[in-house]
Amino acid sequence: MDSGRKKTASQAFYYAIEKMQRVAIQTLDLLPPVDITFRDYVFEVLRMYSIANLNDVHKYFDLILACFVKRKILTRYEVNKLKEPSNLYDRLDLKVFHEIDSVFRSRATAYRF
Protein backbone atom coordinates (compact mmCIF):
# COMPACT_ATOMS: atom_id res chain seq x y z
CA MET A 1 0.00 0.00 0.00
CA ASP A 2 1.09 3.54 -0.67
CA SER A 3 2.11 5.02 2.68
CA GLY A 4 2.06 8.62 1.38
CA ARG A 5 -1.72 8.77 1.02
CA LYS A 6 -4.42 8.79 3.65
CA LYS A 7 -6.34 5.49 3.73
CA THR A 8 -10.09 5.25 3.66
CA ALA A 9 -11.82 3.36 6.44
CA SER A 10 -12.54 0.43 4.14
CA GLN A 11 -8.88 0.26 3.01
CA ALA A 12 -7.67 0.30 6.62
CA PHE A 13 -10.21 -2.37 7.57
CA TYR A 14 -9.13 -4.59 4.66
CA TYR A 15 -5.47 -4.19 5.64
CA ALA A 16 -6.33 -5.10 9.25
CA ILE A 17 -8.16 -8.23 8.09
CA GLU A 18 -5.20 -9.36 6.00
CA LYS A 19 -2.76 -8.72 8.85
CA MET A 20 -4.98 -10.55 11.36
CA GLN A 21 -5.27 -13.54 9.05
CA ARG A 22 -1.49 -13.75 8.62
CA VAL A 23 -0.74 -13.30 12.31
CA ALA A 24 -3.49 -15.22 14.08
CA ILE A 25 -5.06 -17.70 11.68
CA GLN A 26 -2.06 -19.01 9.72
CA THR A 27 -0.30 -19.71 13.01
CA LEU A 28 -2.76 -22.52 13.67
CA ASP A 29 -1.10 -24.48 10.85
CA LEU A 30 2.12 -24.68 12.87
CA LEU A 31 0.61 -26.16 16.02
CA PRO A 32 -0.07 -29.79 16.85
CA PRO A 33 -3.72 -30.75 16.38
CA VAL A 34 -4.41 -31.45 20.07
CA ASP A 35 -3.32 -30.72 23.62
CA ILE A 36 -2.06 -27.18 23.32
CA THR A 37 -2.77 -24.32 25.63
CA PHE A 38 -3.60 -20.74 24.73
CA ARG A 39 -0.19 -19.84 26.05
CA ASP A 40 1.42 -22.23 23.52
CA TYR A 41 -0.61 -20.50 20.81
CA VAL A 42 0.62 -17.08 21.99
CA PHE A 43 4.26 -18.16 21.75
CA GLU A 44 3.68 -19.55 18.26
CA VAL A 45 1.92 -16.35 17.13
CA LEU A 46 4.92 -14.34 18.29
CA ARG A 47 7.35 -16.71 16.63
CA MET A 48 5.42 -16.69 13.34
CA TYR A 49 5.20 -12.92 13.36
CA SER A 50 8.89 -12.45 14.07
CA ILE A 51 9.82 -14.86 11.24
CA ALA A 52 7.41 -13.32 8.71
CA ASN A 53 8.21 -9.69 9.57
CA LEU A 54 11.93 -9.39 10.06
CA ASN A 55 11.99 -5.61 9.65
CA ASP A 56 8.72 -4.82 11.54
CA VAL A 57 8.81 -1.13 10.60
CA HIS A 58 5.57 -0.34 12.44
CA LYS A 59 6.65 -2.12 15.67
CA TYR A 60 3.62 -4.43 15.71
CA PHE A 61 5.64 -7.09 17.55
CA ASP A 62 6.07 -4.74 20.52
CA LEU A 63 2.36 -3.90 20.39
CA ILE A 64 1.39 -7.57 20.44
CA LEU A 65 3.78 -8.20 23.35
CA ALA A 66 2.32 -5.26 25.28
CA CYS A 67 -1.21 -6.61 24.79
CA PHE A 68 -0.24 -10.05 26.09
CA VAL A 69 1.48 -8.50 29.13
CA LYS A 70 -1.52 -6.27 29.83
CA ARG A 71 -3.79 -9.33 29.78
CA LYS A 72 -1.31 -11.18 32.05
CA ILE A 73 -0.65 -13.93 29.51
CA LEU A 74 3.08 -13.11 29.45
CA THR A 75 5.39 -11.74 32.12
CA ARG A 76 7.97 -8.99 31.63
CA TYR A 77 10.71 -11.61 31.99
CA GLU A 78 9.22 -13.65 29.13
CA VAL A 79 8.93 -10.54 26.99
CA ASN A 80 12.60 -9.75 27.53
CA LYS A 81 13.52 -13.34 26.60
CA LEU A 82 11.38 -13.12 23.44
CA LYS A 83 13.11 -9.91 22.38
CA GLU A 84 16.54 -11.53 22.56
CA PRO A 85 17.96 -12.66 19.22
CA SER A 86 17.42 -16.38 18.68
CA ASN A 87 18.03 -19.07 16.12
CA LEU A 88 15.19 -19.72 13.70
CA TYR A 89 15.29 -23.45 14.39
CA ASP A 90 15.19 -23.32 18.20
CA ARG A 91 12.39 -25.54 19.46
CA LEU A 92 9.59 -24.10 21.55
CA ASP A 93 8.79 -25.60 24.93
CA LEU A 94 5.17 -26.55 24.28
CA LYS A 95 3.08 -28.32 26.88
CA VAL A 96 2.30 -31.58 25.07
CA PHE A 97 1.16 -34.15 27.61
CA HIS A 98 1.95 -37.38 25.74
CA GLU A 99 5.06 -39.50 25.87
CA ILE A 100 6.41 -39.59 22.34
CA ASP A 101 7.61 -43.18 22.78
CA SER A 102 4.08 -44.36 23.46
CA VAL A 103 2.79 -42.56 20.36
CA PHE A 104 5.22 -44.45 18.11
CA ARG A 105 4.40 -47.88 19.55
CA SER A 106 1.76 -48.67 16.93
CA ARG A 107 -0.21 -47.08 14.13
CA ALA A 108 -3.38 -47.23 16.22
CA THR A 109 -1.71 -45.34 19.07
CA ALA A 110 -0.38 -42.73 16.66
CA TYR A 111 -3.85 -42.38 15.12
CA ARG A 112 -5.46 -41.87 18.53
CA PHE A 113 -2.78 -39.28 19.34
pLDDT tens figures, 64-74:
899 999 999 99
3 phi/psi in degrees, rounded to 5: -80, -10
Specify the pLDDT at position 81.
Answer: 87
| Helical spans, DSSP H, in 53-98 | 60-70, 76-83
- Based on the structure, what is the number of domains in the chain? 1
Whether 3 is in a domain gets the answer no
Whether 59 is in a domain gets the answer yes
Whether 36 is in a domain gets the answer yes
Whether 2 is in a domain gets the answer no
Q: Pick the closest to residue 73 from 46, 34, 54, 49 (CA basis).
A: 46
pLDDT (tens digit, 9 = 90+) per residue, 42-59? 988 888 888 888 788 888
List of residues 6+ apart from 79 with CB closer than 8 A = 65, 68, 69
Cβ-based neighbour number of residue 61 at 10 Å = 16
Whether 4 is in a domain gets the answer no
More confident residue, 45 or 106: 45
Whether 96 is in a domain gets the answer yes
* Domain limits for position 59: 9-84+92-112
pLDDT band at 88 (very low <50, low <70, confident <90, very high): low
Q: What is the mean pLDDT of residues 99-105?
A: 73
